[in-house]
């Protein structure tokens, strides 16, 4: 992952600006999953827009965002404390992992 984009993503997750949601990049109530926050940063950086280029109800990163961020997959994985690699979207959707913890995992492992 590109270091500058990772820094922005981690900061956005910790900022309190984004309300955490589940199962979709961007929900109708304005909440985001952690991957939706990264997609929103891409939109703010001019990489497409929500209305024409991305499906908010998707669970995985759009390919354009993957390329922009320097990732190698639409579903990045990290290894929480128990050691088994898990998809970020899955950790996000469990009620046990808030944006702060996800930011820590992204910062350390991507």
Residues of 33-67 as b/e, b for ≥16 C-beta within 10 angstroms?
A: bbbbbbbbbbbeeebbeeeeebeeebbbbbeebbe
> How far is 101 from 110, CA to CA, in rounded Å?
14
Six-digit token string for 49? 């827009």
What's the total number of domains in the chain?
A: 1
Task: Report the pLDDT value the prediction gives residue 70, as an integer from 0 to 100.
Answer: 98
Strand pairing report for 77-78 and 86-87: antiparallel
Chain centre to alpha carbon of residue 79:
15
Size (the chain), residues: 110
**Percent of the chain residues topping a pLDDT of 90:** 93
Question: How many of the other CB atoms lie within 10 Å of CB of 101?
Answer: 15
pLDDT digits (tens, 9 = 90+) for 45-86: 999 999 999 999 999 999 999 999 999 999 999 998 877 899
In which domain, by residue range, is 56 found?
A: 3-109
> How far is 4 from 39, CA to CA, in rounded Å?
15
């Amino acid at each position: 992952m590109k270091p500058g984009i990772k820094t922005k993503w981690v900061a956005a997750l910790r900022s309190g600006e984004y309300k955490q949601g589940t199962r979709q990049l961007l929900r109708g109530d304005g909440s985001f999953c952690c991957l939706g926050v990264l997609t929103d940063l891409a939109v703010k950086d001019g990489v497409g827009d929500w209305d024409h280029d991305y499906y908010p109800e998707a669970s995985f990163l759009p390919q354009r965002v993957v390329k922009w961020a320097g990732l190698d997959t639409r579903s990045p994985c990290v290894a929480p404390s128990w050691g088994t690699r898990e998809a970020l979207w899955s950790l996000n959707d469990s009620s046990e992992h808030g944006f702060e913890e996800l930011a820590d995992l992204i910062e350390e492992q991507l």
